[in-house]
Structure 1
Amino acid sequence: MSVRLLTVAQVAELLGTSVRFPRRLIEERRITFVKVGRHVRIPEPAVEAYIETHTVQPVVRRFGKVA
């Protein structure tokens, strides 16, 4: 099974951010990455896992009560 490795620019585009954000995630070791020589690549499943764990579900309100 081959895992697609994404560049920092590709990850930024997927997340809808600037390239600074994925670079900061890498620097703070908050996302899995692979060093290929002097290049940094992020496995696509790591980006999907990051999105999944940081997704906030909406609050369900009931009539007359505040959640």
Structure 2
Amino acid sequence: MSHSIDLSRQPRRIDLDTQLHRKAGPTTHAMRPVEAASEAQTPQASPAPRYLTNNEAAAFLRLSPRTLEKQRVIGGGPRFHKFGRRVMYALADLEAWASERSFETTFDPEYIDRHPGAQRDDQ
């Protein structure tokens, strides 16, 4: 009696890494074909500037959305863009605004100039 394996009854193995069987990611549509590996690795020339809503910008800066609204009125906040009635923030403007607010210590002359209440000579 032979113990050979009958291949016709064995389940067929599927290579899940092939493009045919690859699952669609959360940002791709399930019916759209998966792009080829060579196309996926081609660098883009320059990405378009990304704009965030007030709530998204506040979450990015870890501020309250109301804080950004107040700063738009009284000044001192990041640059914003108006598209009709919509207020949008460019990601580059948010990063530039945040980097302008970095200091070494509270005794940094730039910090004292920007925060007059921080001077300790009055005490």
With normalisation by structure 2, the TM-score equals: 0.43
- Residue 51 of structure 1 corresponds to which residue in structure 2? 98
Tell me how far apart the structure 2 counterparts of residues 27 and 4 of structure 1 sit (CA, whole Å).
Answer: 23
- Residue 81 of structure 2 corresponds to which residue in structure 1? 34
> Percent identity between the aligned chains?
24
How far residue 58 of structure 1 moved from its aligned partner, in angstroms, is: 4.0
The structure with the larger Rg is: 2
Q: How many residues align?
A: 59
RMSD between superposed Cα atoms in Å: 1.7
List runs of 5+ in structure 1 lacking aligned partners: 60-67
Structure having greater relative contact order (Cα 8 Å, sep ≥ 6) = 1
With normalisation by structure 1, the TM-score equals: 0.73
Aligned letter for 1:11? A
- Residue 21 of structure 1 corresponds to which residue in structure 2? 67
